[in-house]
Chains A and B, each alone.
Chain A
Amino acid sequence: MANDHIDLTVEPGEVHALLGENGAGKSTLMNQLYGLLQPDEGEILVDGEARTFRSPRDAIAAGIGMVHQHFMLVPVFTVAENIALGAEKTRAGFLDRRRARREVLEVSARYGLPVDPDAVVENLPVGAQQRVEIVKALTRDVDLLILDEPTAVLTPQETEELLAVMRGLCDAGKSIVFITHKLKEVKAIADRITVIRRGQTVGTASPDTPEDELAALMVGRAVTLEVSKEHAKPGREVLTISGLCVDDDRGVRAVDGVDLEIRAGEVLGIAGVQGNGQTELVEAVMGLREALTGTIKVDNEDLTGMTTKQILRSGIGYVPEDRSLDGVVKEFSVAENLVLDQYDRPPYGNAFRLNPAAIDAAARERVEQFDIRTSSPASAVSTLSGGNQQKVVVAREMSRPLRLFIAAQPTRGVDVGSIEFIHGRIVHERDVGTAVLVVSSELDEVVALADRIAVMYRGRILAIVPPTTPREELGLLMAGITGPQAVAAPGSAPASDAAPGSDAAPGSDAAPGSGSDEKGTK
Chain B
Amino acid sequence: MSTDGPVDAPVAEAAPPPPAAPPKEESDSFLSHFLHNLWAANTVTVTLLSIVLAAFVGAVLIVLSDPAVLDTFSYITARPSDAFSSSWTVVSSAYADLFKGAIVDPATITAWANGSGTWRQVFFPISETLTYAAPLVFTGLSVALAFRGGLFNIGGQGQAIIGTITAGLAGFLLPLPPVIHLIAALAAGALGGMLWGFVPGILKARTGAHEVIVTIMLNYTANLFLSWLILQKGIQQPGRSDAISKTVDSSATLPSFGGELRANLGIVLAVLATAGVAWLLNRSAFGFELRAVGANPPAARTAGMSVAKTYTLLMMTAGGLAGLGGATQVLGTAHALTTQVAGNIGFDGLLVALLGRNRPWGTLAAALLFGALRAGGNRMQSYSGISLELVTVLQALIVIFIAAPALVKTIFHLRAARTARLGASMAKGW
**Which residues of chain A are near B2, meaning CB under 8 Å?**
331
Q: Given A308-B304, A312-B304, A349-B285, A340 and B4 touching (CB < 8 A)?
A: no
Q: Report whether A336 and B288 are in contact in the complex, using a CB–CB cutoff of 8 Å.
A: yes
Cβ-based interface call for B271 (8 A):
no
- A382, B301: Cα distance in complex, Å: 19
CB distance from A389 to the nearest CB of B (A): 12
Query: CB distance B284 to A307 under 8 Å?
Result: no
Closest to B2 in A: A331
Which one, B4, B285, B301, contacts A343 given CB within 8 A?
Answer: B285
| B285 contact from A307, A331, A351, A378, Cβ within 8 A | A351
Q: A316-336 vs B: 1/0 string, CB under 8 Å?
A: 001010000111111111001
Q: Are A288 and B292 in contact (CB under 8 A)?
A: no
Q: Is the CB of A325 within 8 A of B298?
A: yes
Instruction: Give residues 235-260 of B contacting A (CB, 8 Å).
Output: none
Q: Does A344 contact B (CB under 8 A)?
A: yes
Contacts of B17 in A (CB 8 A): none
Name which of A286, A312, A318, A331 has the most chain B CB atoms within 10 A of its CB.
A331
Q: Is the CB of A329 within 8 A of B299?
A: yes
Contacts of A401 in B (CB 8 A): none
Assess whether A356 is interfacial by the CB under 8 Å rule: yes
- Find out whether the CB atom of A354 lies under 8 angstroms from the CB atom of B284: yes
- Chain B residues lying within 8 Å of A310, measured Cβ to Cβ, are 304
Q: How far is the CA of A309 from the CA of B289 in the complex (A)?
A: 13
- B306 A307 Cβ-Cβ under 8 A: yes
Total A-B Cβ pairs within 8 A: 84
- What separation, in Å, do the CA atoms of A510 and B377 have in the docked complex? 77
Q: Is the CB of B288 within 8 A of A326?
A: no
Residues of A within 8 A of B301 (CB): 288, 308, 326
Within 8 Å by CB of B296, from A311, A329, A341, lies A329
Kindly supply a per-residue 1/0 record for chain A positions 372-404, scoring 1 wherever the CB is within 8 Å of any chain B CB and 0 otherwise: 000000111011000000000000000000000
Q: Which residue of A lies closest to B305 (CB)?
A: A309
- B302 contacts A by Cβ under 8 Å: yes
Contact B285 A326 (CB under 8 A): no
Once the chains bind, are A320 and B295 in contact (CB under 8 Å)? Answer: no
- Knowing A329-B295, A332-B291, A340-B292 are in contact, say whether A356-B283 is a contact too (CB < 8 A): yes
B: interface residue count bin: 20 to 34
Q: Contact check, B296 vs A288: say whether CB atoms are below 8 A apart.
A: no
Q: Is B300 an interface residue (CB 8 A)?
A: yes
Flag if B6 contacts A309 (CB, 8 Å): no
- Interface hits, B354-404 → A, CB 8 Å: none
| A320-B291 Cα distance, complex, nearest whole Å | 20
Q: Which residue of A has the minimal Cβ distance to B279?
A: A353
B4, B284, B288, B299: the one contacting A327 at CB < 8 Å is: B299
Q: Answer yes or no: B5 CB below 8 A from chain A CBs.
A: yes
Chain A residues within an 8 Å CB radius of B286: 352
Within 8 Å of chain A (Cβ to Cβ): is B9?
A: yes
A352–B299 touching, CB < 8 Å = no
Q: Which of B284, B292, B295, B296 contacts A353 (CB 8 A)?
A: B284
A469 is an interface residue with CB less than 8 A from chain B:
no
Docked pose: A343 CA to B288 CA in angstroms = 8
Residue B427 at the chain A interface, CB threshold 8 Å = no
Residue among B284, B296, B300, B304 with max Cβ neighbours from chain A (10 Å): B304
User: For the complex, is A90 an interface residue (Cβ under 8 Å from B)?
Assistant: no
Q: Across the interface, do B299 and A333 meet the contact criterion of CB distance under 8 Å?
A: no
CA gap between A164 and B6 in the complex, in Å: 42
Main secondary structure of the interface of B (DSSP, over half): helix
Contact flags B1-36 to A (C-beta < 8 A → 1, else 0): 010111001000000000000000000000000000
Do B298 and A332 have beta carbons less than 8 Å apart? no
Chain A residues with Cβ below 8 Å from B289 are: 343
Q: Report the separation of the CA atoms of residues A322 and B315 in the bound assembly, to the nearest whole angstrom.
A: 29
Residues of B contacting A332 in the complex (Cβ-Cβ under 8 angstroms): 5, 291-292, 295
- Whether B78 sits at the interface, judged by CB under 8 Å, is no
Once A349-B285, A350-B285, A353-B283 are accepted as A-B contacts, the answer to whether A327 and B302 lie under 8 Å apart by CB is yes
**Which residues of chain A are near B288, meaning CB under 8 Å?**
336, 343-344, 349, 354
Nearest-neighbour CB distance to chain B for A347, whole angstroms, equals: 13
* Smallest beta-carbon distance A382→chain B, Å: 7
A380 and B304 contact, Cβ closer than 8 Å, known pairs A325-B298, A329-B296, A344-B285: no
Instruction: Assess the A353–B299 pair: CB atoms within 8 A.
Output: no
Given A332-B295, A351-B285, A353-B284, decide whether A380 and B6 contact each other with a Cβ distance below 8 A. Answer: yes
- The distance from the CB of B351 to the nearest CB of chain A, in whole angstroms, is 24
Chain B neighbourhood of A349, CB < 8 A? 285, 288
CB <8 Å contact, A326 and B6? no
C-alpha gap A341/B288 in the complex (Å): 11
Residues of chain A within 8 A (CB-CB) of B299 are 325-329, 340
Contacts of B296 in A (CB 8 A): 325, 328-331
Taking the closest CB of chain A, its distance from the CB of B121, in whole angstroms, is 46
Q: Which of B6, B283, B292 contacts A329 (CB 8 A)?
A: B292
Does B411 interact with chain A (Cβ within 8 Å)?
no
Residues in B neighbouring A354, C-beta threshold 8 A: 283-285, 287-288
Q: In the bound complex, how far is the Cα of B298 from the Cα of A332, in angstroms? A: 14
Asked if B285 and A341 sit within 8 Å, CB to CB, the answer is no
Least CB distance from A432 to B in Å reads: 23
Q: Which A residues are CB-close (under 8 A) to B298?
A: 325-326
Asked if B5 and A331 sit within 8 Å, CB to CB, the answer is yes
> Please, how many angstroms separate the alpha-carbon atoms of A280 and B283 in the complex?
35
Q: Among the listed A307, A331, A336, which residue makes an inter-chain contact with B6, where contact means beta carbons less than 8 Å apart?
A: A331
B interface footprint on A401-436 (CB within 8 Å = 1, 0 otherwise): 000000000000000000000000000000000000
What is the CA–CA distance of A230 and B301 in the complex, to the nearest angstrom?
Answer: 36
Q: What residues on B are CB-neighbors of A352 within 8 Å?
A: 284-286
In angstroms, Cα B289 to Cα A353, docked, is 11
B305 to chain A, nearest CB (A): 7
Q: Which residue in A307, A308, A336 is a CB contact (below 8 Å) of B302?
A: A308
Q: How far is the CA of A305 from the CA of B19 in the complex (A)?
A: 58
Bound: A382/B419 CA distance, A: 12
List 4 A-B pairs, minimum CB-CB distance, nearest first: A309-B304, A341-B303, A331-B5, A326-B302
Please name 24 pairs of A and B residues whose Cβ atoms are closer than 8 Å in the assembled complex, sorted by A: A286-B302, A307-B304, A308-B304, A312-B303, A325-B296, A326-B299, A326-B302, A328-B296, A329-B296, A329-B299, A331-B6, A331-B295, A332-B295, A333-B5, A341-B303, A341-B304, A343-B288, A350-B285, A352-B284, A354-B284, A378-B9, A379-B9, A380-B6, A383-B6
List 6 other contacts, CB 8 Å, given A329-B291, A329-B292, A354-B285: A288-B301, A332-B5, A340-B292, A340-B303, A341-B303, A351-B285
Chain B interfacial positions (CB closer than 8 Å to A):
2, 4-6, 9, 283-289, 291-292, 295-296, 298-306
